[in-house]
Copies of this chain bind each other. A is one copy, B any other.
Amino acid sequence: MTDRPRNLPQLLGDRRTWFDEAVAAAMLEAGERPVTFAQQNVFAHLDPDGTTVAELARRMGMARQSAHQAVHALVGMGLLDLVPDPSSSRRRLARLTPEGRRVHERAQALIARLEEDLAARLGPSTLDALRAVLDRPWGEPRLRAEP
């Protein structure tokens, strides 16, 4: 109720949620099938020329099996397909289908517009500074009291 000072992780999470909900609502409004967060994450880490499930898992920081599950759901929705890797017969590359590319580009455009709106509200230099701080390497967190 009272305005308690919120710590940084809370603020970061709230703002992330601000974006997530806006994207989900806008995609729904646009008549697109809802794409879950895990699936958006796959899109975000996919190479244009295709990526193996194991590599996706590494990039997303999850188990191979979890990435596999998300990829398979997207394949079932017709947004991804798995093609054999010409360089290695045991590998299969997950790639965007044309429909997947369309949905992905639409979501990316939406995020870009939200960022533009924010820049107009908060000031372009403010938003640039925000992005710069978040993009800068933060180093490893210190665990113990006396390292």
Contacts and interface: CB of A to CB of B under 8 A. Distances in A.
Given A118-B138, A142-B117, A12 B8 contact: no
A142 to B, nearest CB: 5
A131 B11 contact: yes
Given A143-B26, A143-B29, A138 B6 contact: no
What copy number does this chain have within its complex? 2
A44 interface: yes
Identify whether the interface residues of A are mostly helix, strand, loop, or mixed: helix
Interface in A3-51: 6-23, 25-26, 29, 44, 47
A125 to B, nearest CB: 11
A18 B121 contact: no
A142 B19 CA distance: 11
A12 B22 contact: no
Interface in A126-141: 126-127, 129-131, 133-136, 138-139, 141
A18 B12 CA distance: 10
A7 B114 CA distance: 11
A144 B16 contact: no
Interface of A: 1, 6-23, 25-26, 29, 44, 47, 61, 108, 111-115, 117-118, 121-122, 126-127, 129-131, 133-136, 138-139, 141-145
